[in-house]
Structure 1
Amino acid sequence: MKESTGFDEGMGELGLNIEGLLRRSARQLIQQAIEGEVRALLEEYAAVRMVDGRRAVVRNGYLPEREILTVVGPVPVPIPKVRDRSGSGVVFRSSLVPPYVRKSRSVAAALSWRYLHGVSSGRMQEALSVLLGEEAKGLSPAVLGRLKAEWAQEHAQ
């Protein structure tokens, strides 16, 4: 007899498990926060007008969606674009998700801690498989040492 909870079965019908539900909620929260940042920027420049009376700083669609690695897994986030018609250089940069961010701070901290733990304990393979998944099977300490030496040599050149 299969044992399961009603919650799991109900979510299965919708095509979501608990992780999917958490990711969807995280995406909505991140999107709401970014939209708030855009609104604040547009309000700041609301008085700036073109010669013909139109607003100089307006929304202009979205950048391509990118995934941010969070504690609940990868979350796709669309970042809004802002257009400055006056040419004064107004650009929207989210403080929550800057252009270079691909991992949340807690994930980045956990990854570096996990890597250092693997180095100090000598269980590098275990640490790498947590960080890289199944792709880390061929990475042994010897391979990593050889790669590090090659990278140091390339950097010196």
Structure 2
Amino acid sequence: MLNVVPEAGDRDGSAAPVVLAGPVSSVIDEIVREGAQQMLAAALRAEVAAYCAQFADERDENGHRLVVRNGYHEPREVTTAAGAIEVHAPRVNDKRVDPETGERVRFSSAILPPWARKTRRWSRCCRCCTCMGSRRRTSGRRWASFWARPRACRRPRSPS
């Protein structure tokens, strides 16, 4: 599919239009997804670096650091408002032992928990479609209001 887009600054239509292959929204969506993926990767790397730096002075009896970076977890897909993005979460090898329980301390990302596959907003969207019915005539308005405001998908309270 070809989309015709007038050149920048052309208001009277006299200049030749620019023809783009493919829908314009898919190009924008792809840019947004790539940006979201890069920002999430940078945030995860910064979180792991800060965690490792926090415990950099702790060493075992052989002089080895107890908290070190250890490559990446298997890539996984996370569904966000920008679409599905692939995440390569950094791995941390934490050999510290909790003195109270005697178990090893584990690093868990506050940004992307190990169980997360969807963002909260996307999960709320799925619940909204299931509870309210996605086939109603009002679903278009519900979608528009959902993306405009965070709590728009809830049913309005009836006056009592």
- TM-score normalized by structure 1? 0.64
Alignment-derived partner of residue 58 in structure 1: 68
- Pair 1:112-2:124 in alignment: no
For residues 54 and 6 of structure 1, the distance between their equivalents in structure 2, rounded to whole angstroms, comes to 61
Greater share of strand: 2
- 2:67–2:92: 8 Å Cα contact kept in structure 1? yes
- 1:46–1:57: 8 Å Cα contact kept in structure 2? yes
Q: Provide structure 2 residue ranges, at least 5 long, that are not aligned to the other structure.
A: 9-17, 99-103, 140-160
For residues 117 and 90 of structure 1, the distance between their equivalents in structure 2, rounded to whole angstroms, comes to 43
For residues 90 and 21 of structure 1, the distance between their equivalents in structure 2, rounded to whole angstroms, comes to 38
Of 7, 28, 33, which aligns to 1:18? 28
Name the count of aligned residue pairs: 120
- Greater than 4 Å deviation, 4+ residue runs: 5-12, 85-88
- TM-score normalized by structure 2? 0.63
Alignment-derived partner of residue 92 in structure 1: 107
- 1:11–1:17: 8 Å Cα contact kept in structure 2? no
Tell me how far 1:6 sits from its aligned partner.
6.6
User: Is the alpha carbon distance of 1:90 and 1:10 closer, same or farther for their aligned partners in structure 2, counting shifts above 3 Å?
Assistant: farther
Question: Who wins on radius of gyration, i.e. which is larger?
Answer: 2
For residues 76 and 83 of structure 2, the distance between their equivalents in structure 1, rounded to whole angstroms, comes to 13
Of 117, 127, 130, which aligns to 1:102? 117
Work out the percentage of aligned pairs sharing the same amino acid: 31
Instruction: Report the 3-state secondary structure (helix = DSSP H, G, I; strand = E; otherwise coil) of the residue aligned with 1:17.
Output: helix
- Pair 1:38-2:48 in alignment: yes
- 2:78–2:87: 8 Å Cα contact kept in structure 1? yes
Tell me how far 1:54 sits from its aligned partner.
2.2
Instruction: Report the 3-state secondary structure (helix = DSSP H, G, I; strand = E; otherwise coil) of the residue aligned with 1:38.
Output: helix
